Structure 1
Amino acid sequence: MTDIESLPVETFLDILKLIDGVTLAKCRSVCKKWKDCIDGTDWLWHEICKNEFKFSSKIAKQKSGSDCDWYHIYKNLKMWSKVMSFERNVREFYKFTLHDKNHALDVNYNILPLRDTRGVVMYDMSTLKYIPVSVPEKNCVKIANNDFATVILLKSGMYIQKTIDNITNMSEAFFEADNFVLAGNNVYFFNNRNVYKCDLSLDNLSSKLIIHCDYDIKDIQYDNNVIHIFTDCAKIVNVYKNKTTEVKPINVPPEWTKQIKYIRAINDKNFVCYSRNLFKIETDKYRHLYLDFPPITALFFYADIVLIGTRQGEILLYRLASQKRAIKPIFEDIATLPGDKFAVQLDVCERKSGPVIVVATFFEIFLIEIDFFPHEKELKKSFPVNKQYMYKRLLRLRDRIALNYS
């Protein structure tokens, strides 16, 4: 009979990946050898996250980048079920000089970009410290990073800056674009009704037309080798790897489609669309539709839960699992902003110590910090290698944008 201690490491890991996250965490306490093996194999926690938090873990990783490994992503998402039992610290983080509802850009790769009079300034979400590089362009709409590239969307178009080892290859490009999604080694973007792909693995950057859409496009997403195009007429166009397409309607009464103003989506089966009082949520597990929903000023879709901002300054937690058919929605009160301020944008970034909720108003950025694991807080003295690449790309893009707008 073979003792588990004498199994090859590969076989031991194959066994561990079959168990749940709580059991895997307990296995860390068996002995130092097991703890070192489990802690040193982050893909184990990636598998656990995919099994238990299929979509929210993907969003969390995209937001936190390499600053949070999969083990910490799992721990944080597990603790969201108990979030109301933790103290929530609300504090003002940044004050803007101009009135605007689009001051904060989406948190991406652990970076919070803020748009002010001098352009876009950036903060590291791990330390909440200023990153000494700014994009000198007030009309910046979106910034995305990964290990392969940095992409910046301006009102005039989209800049791409690659991470490259061979400087003779083409490392940057500009395309006319209305919006984009960065997915691994590819950038998918649309301009008017045309959808394109830019392959970052090629030596020279170029765009390839994928499809001409018959409808005006509201948003684009990419998931599991499928491009999902959300249109203004409440139709979803799916483009598959073999270039076949499928058009499906969002399941709401036709007379409501003109009311839909905002969409937050992962794919065509997991999304939320809403306007002032219309609220439609569709996920693999849950479907909710409200015609008379409390007025929403901001929303963050986390797949299993939804954070909602109201005109009264409340930040509410809406758990999909707790909602019952044909009854009023159930909310939990995360926090209330001071004075008459209310959220116009919401975002969440997971840190090793717990999540931070970013709340943008017309004039301020408020942070709601929740310390699930306060002992995990750490002081960083320098950027890790992956952030150094990103930092250099941002510097090059800053210089290119400044040159074009001088």
Structure 2
Amino acid sequence: MPDQLSINALPPEIFLQIFAYLPVKQLLKCRLVSSRWREIVDELSRSDIFWKRQCEVDFSSVCKIARKKCRVGMDWCSIYRSLSLWARLGEAIENRDEFCSAADVQDEIRNCTILRNGVISVHKRHAIVYYDIETLKPLKPLMTGDCLKYSENDDVIAILNYHLQLSVKRKVTNKSTIFKEVKTFLLLDHALYYVSINDEIYICRLDKKNLRNKFLVDSETSIVAMGYSNDRLHLLTFERTIYTVIDSKLSFATSLGPTSNLLHILHQYNLLELLDWRIYFQWMFVLNHSIPQGPLQDIVTTRIYGDVVFVGSNLGVLRIYYKPYTLEEFDIFTAVPIKQYNFMERSDCPVLSMCPILDVDVQEVNDGHTVMVAMPKKIAILNFTHNLQRTFSALPYTERDTVKFITID
């Protein structure tokens, strides 16, 4: 067994290669061994590639989307620190703002999406409007026309109109392709999947030169929602059966029965965010499951962001959960939210009986987060920041293993 002297005789390049594969908690311990190790760890912590790898390991489900939507100029170390701070959201300094007030029916808001480079797209009743996330002022271009469902990524804009025509537009060439008789669609970074009114599933590869649809598989039952995880497309049917598409064939995955934990199974297959919650509660009733009381009985939207879950209701109530698990199963019904808001204004009652939370999106900022909450009449902004003391090291911890930036469970 080599002693400490012989270990310290190794060149720093060897230490850097070894330390690069250690998790942050282990690096903190290594940093306490000696002044030389501390210098090596601090040198490693200045590498953006190192922090990119740490994000991919510790926040695998959300690091790509966090990088895409983060505040302009943030490096991977800052993203890692901000993602870690969600565990301490209850201690954050909070302030609110709002914008995009709907003056009439034409301006009614449907959803909002944070795009790359600090741009927000807002889907209104008759237009898609872009805003600067820093100034909250509208930008050009402005797209007009009726829109039933809208989604956008770096390469394309997908709009489903009320005539069930899906328009997929390339941003670079400005050329559009129209697909007819479309019931719903799912836009990913690499492909667009859509379901026809006859429950046929098609795929449109976004890395191809031409945006052509390709028949993928035919479903013999009505499709309720689509999800994507582990490089697989998942389909939820009205008969409460989940299929996975493998080699252009439907492969049975599971079914939702009387003894099933519906929430946990749907979460596993990434189906919760696109599910119509009215159907979910109908299934709960049919299967004799207990239905939650209060605002959770009126859920209209769910946004899952790594370990953070946003749940919005018809009554204007937004709940934010961190790791909502009971006995290692996903559970928002009995878990306690770390934050809760009621966005229904006094002027809404009794004129309006509902103020639905339609959409939620997140941007990481330095030592904090910005949360956009879309409602028909406005978009609320929740800014969370942490007043944290920094050290000379890029590592988000102190030398004594006492957390300054985050708490590790």
Spell out, residue by residue over 1:355-402, the C-alpha distance to the aligned partner (whole angstroms, 9 max, x if none). 2222222311111111237999xxxxxxxxxxxxxxxxxxxxxxxxxx
Spell out, residue by residue over 1:55-96, the C-alpha distance to the aligned partner (whole angstroms, 9 max, x if none). 243553465498655433322221111111112212221201
Equivalent runs, 1:58-77 vs 2, <5 Å? 58-61=64-67, 63-64=69-70, 69-77=75-83
1:136 corresponds in structure 2 to: 144
Equivalent runs, 1:223-372 vs 2, <5 Å? 223-240=229-246, 242-253=247-258, 268=269, 271=272, 274-275=277-278, 278=281, 291-294=291-294, 295=297, 296-310=299-313, 313-321=316-324, 323=326, 328-337=334-343, 339-340=345-346, 342-353=355-366, 354-372=368-386
State the alpha-carbon separation in 1 of the partners of residues 176 and 120 from structure 2: 23
Give 1:268's aligned amino acid: Y
**Contact kept? 1:264, 1:301, Cα under 8 Å:** no
Distance apart, 1:331 and its partner CA: 2.7
Give 2:210's aligned amino acid: N
1:17 corresponds in structure 2 to: 21
Distance apart, 1:104 and its partner CA: 1.9
1:104 corresponds in structure 2 to: 111
The SS at the match of 2:211 is: coil
Query: Who wins on radius of gyration, i.e. which is larger?
Result: 2
1:216 corresponds in structure 2 to: 222
Give 1:333's aligned amino acid: K
**Contact kept? 2:233, 2:244, Cα under 8 Å:** yes
**Contact kept? 2:19, 2:27, Cα under 8 Å:** no
State the alpha-carbon separation in 1 of the partners of residues 40 and 372 from structure 2: 39
Distance apart, 1:135 and its partner CA: 0.9
Larger RCO: 1 or 2 (CA < 8 Å, sep 6+):
2
Q: Name which of 127, 136, 161 aligns with 1:119.
A: 127
Structure 2 unaligned regions, length at least 5: 1-5, 349-354, 391-409
State the alpha-carbon separation in 2 of the partners of residues 65 and 300 from structure 1: 20
1:161 corresponds in structure 2 to: 170
Spell out, residue by residue over 1:330-370, the C-alpha distance to the aligned partner (whole angstroms, 9 max, x if none). 23334332624644223132232322222222311111111
Spell out, residue by residue over 1:86-120, the C-alpha distance to the aligned partner (whole angstroms, 9 max, x if none). 12212221201235875224444454322336611
State the alpha-carbon separation in 2 of the partners of residues 198 and 256 from structure 1: 33
State the alpha-carbon separation in 1 of the partners of residues 265 and 141 from structure 2: 29
**Contact kept? 1:84, 1:334, Cα under 8 Å:** no
Distance apart, 1:161 and its partner CA: 0.1
**Contact kept? 1:114, 1:120, Cα under 8 Å:** yes
Q: Tell me the TM-score normalised to structure 1 length.
A: 0.70
Does structure 1 residue 204 correspond to structure 2 residue 210? yes
Q: Tell me the TM-score normalised to structure 2 length.
A: 0.69
The SS at the match of 1:95 is: coil
Gap change, CA 1:269 and 1:127, over 3 Å in 2? same
1:402 corresponds in structure 2 to: none
Distance apart, 1:293 and its partner CA: 4.5
Q: Percent identity?
A: 16
State the alpha-carbon separation in 1 of the partners of residues 153 and 25 from structure 2: 29
The SS at the match of 1:143 is: strand
